[in-house]
Amino acid sequence: MLTRIAGGRVVDPTAGRDSVSDVWIEDGRIVATPDRGPDRTIDAAGCIVMAGGVEVHSHIAGGNVVLARLLLPELGVAEPDAPNPHGSGRDVGLLYARMGYTTAVEPAMPPVNALATQLELAEIPLLDRGGLCVMGNDDQLLQLLRDRESADAVRDLVALNVATSRALGVKVINAGGADAFKDGAVRFSLDDEVPAYGLTSRQILDGLLDAVEALKVPHPLHVHCSNLGLPGADDSLIETLAAAEGRRIHFAHAQFYAYAAVDKDNPLTGGFRSAAPRIAEALARHPNATLDIGQVVFGQTATISLDILRQFSGRKAASPRKWIVNAGDAEGGGIVPFRYRDRGPTSSLQFAIGLEMMLLSPDPERTILTTDHPNGGPFTAYPRILHLLMDKEARDREVAAHPKVAAERSGLAAIEREYTLSEVAQLTRSGPAKLLGLTDRGHLRPGARADVAVYRDQADRTAMFARAHRVIKDGTVIVEDGEVVAWTRGRTLQLSVEADAGMARRTESYLQGRFGAGLSSFTVPDAAFPGRRADEPVFEAVACRT
Sites of contact with another protein (CB under 8 A) = 61, 63, 65-67, 69-73, 76-77, 80-81, 83-84, 86-91, 94, 112-113, 115-116, 119-120, 123, 139, 179, 182-184, 195-196, 312, 318, 322-329, 332, 335, 483-484, 487, 514-517, 520-525, 527-531
Report the C-alpha gap between 76 and 63 in whole angstroms.
16
Q: What radius of gyration do the chain's Cα atoms show?
A: 22
Question: For every residue of 406-431, which 3-state class applies, written as one string?
Answer: HHHCCCHHHCCCCCCHHHHHHHHHHH
31: partner contacted, choices Zn ion, another protein, none (Cβ within 5-8 A by kind): none
Give least dist CB 524 to another protein, A: 7
Q: Return the number of the residue (53 or 328) whose C-beta is nearest another protein.
A: 328
Give least dist CB 490 to another protein, A: 15
Q: Helix, strand, or coil here: 20?
A: strand
Angle at CA 10, nearest 5°, toward 8 and 11?
145
Give least dist CB 349 to another protein, A: 28
Q: Return the number of the residue (231 or 332) whose C-beta is nearest another protein.
A: 332
Q: Return the number of the residue (237 or 479) whose C-beta is nearest Zn ion.
A: 237
Residues in the chain: 546
Q: Return the number of the residue (321 or 404) whose C-beta is nearest another protein.
A: 321
326: partner contacted, choices another protein, Zn ion, none (Cβ within 5-8 A by kind): another protein
Q: Return the number of the residue (262 or 325) whose C-beta is nearest another protein.
A: 325
178: partner contacted, choices another protein, Zn ion, none (Cβ within 5-8 A by kind): none
Give least dist CB 121 to another protein, A: 9
Residue 92's closest CA among 520, 424, 393, 484?
Answer: 484
Give least dist CB 102 to another protein, A: 17
332: partner contacted, choices Zn ion, another protein, none (Cβ within 5-8 A by kind): another protein
Q: Return the number of the residue (148 or 321) whose C-beta is nearest another protein.
A: 321
Report the C-alpha gap between 518 and 160 in whole angstroms.
13
Question: For every residue of 120-183, which 3-state class applies, written as one string?
Answer: HHHCCCCCEEEEEEECCCCHHHHHHHHCCCCHHHHHHHHHHHHHHHCCCEEEEECCCHHHHHHC
534: partner contacted, choices Zn ion, another protein, none (Cβ within 5-8 A by kind): none
Give least dist CB 44 to Zn ion, A: 35
37: partner contacted, choices another protein, Zn ion, none (Cβ within 5-8 A by kind): none
- The residues near 52 (Cβ < 8 Å, ≥ 6 apart) are 100, 101, 102, 103, 429, 441, 449, 451, 452, 453, 471, 472, 473
Report the C-alpha gap between 262 and 234 in whole angstroms.
12
As to burial, measured by CB atoms within 10 angstroms (0-12 exposed, 13-18 middle, 19+ buried), residue 324 is buried
| C-alpha distances out from residue 539 to 90, 295, 457, Å | 18, 30, 35
Q: Return the number of the residue (25 or 302) whose C-beta is nearest Zn ion.
A: 302
Report the C-alpha gap between 386 and 235 in whole angstroms.
28
Report yes or no: 173 and 186 within 8 Å, Cβ to Cβ. no
- The residues near 36 (Cβ < 8 Å, ≥ 6 apart) are 2
| C-alpha distances out from residue 28 to 9, 34, 440, Å | 21, 15, 11
Give least dist CB 325 to another protein, A: 5
Size of the site for Zn ion (CB under 5 A): 1
Report the C-alpha gap between 471 and 3 in whole angstroms.
13
Give least dist CB 182 to another protein, A: 6
Q: Return the number of the residue (66 or 477) whose C-beta is nearest another protein.
A: 66
For Zn ion, the binding residues in 352-411 under the rule CB under 5 A are: 372
Q: Return the number of the residue (89 or 437) whose C-beta is nearest another protein.
A: 89
Report the C-alpha gap between 487 and 412 in whole angstroms.
41
Q: Return the number of the residue (496 or 520) whose C-beta is nearest another protein.
A: 520
Give least dist CB 115 to another protein, A: 5
307: partner contacted, choices another protein, Zn ion, none (Cβ within 5-8 A by kind): none
Give least dist CB 93 to another protein, A: 11
Q: Tell me if 331 contacts Zn ion by CB under 5 A.
A: no
372: partner contacted, choices another protein, Zn ion, none (Cβ within 5-8 A by kind): Zn ion
Characterize the bridge pairing of strands 53-55 and 47-51: unpaired
Is the preceding omega at residue 110 within 30 degrees of 0, hence cis?
Answer: no
Q: Cβ-closest residue to Zn ion?
A: 372
312: partner contacted, choices Zn ion, another protein, none (Cβ within 5-8 A by kind): another protein
266: partner contacted, choices another protein, Zn ion, none (Cβ within 5-8 A by kind): none
Give least dist CB 326 to another protein, A: 5
Q: Return the number of the residue (466 or 524) whose C-beta is nearest another protein.
A: 524
Report the C-alpha gap between 364 and 432 in whole angstroms.
10
Q: Return the number of the residue (69 or 469) whose C-beta is nearest another protein.
A: 69
Residues that bind Zn ion (CB under 5 A): 372
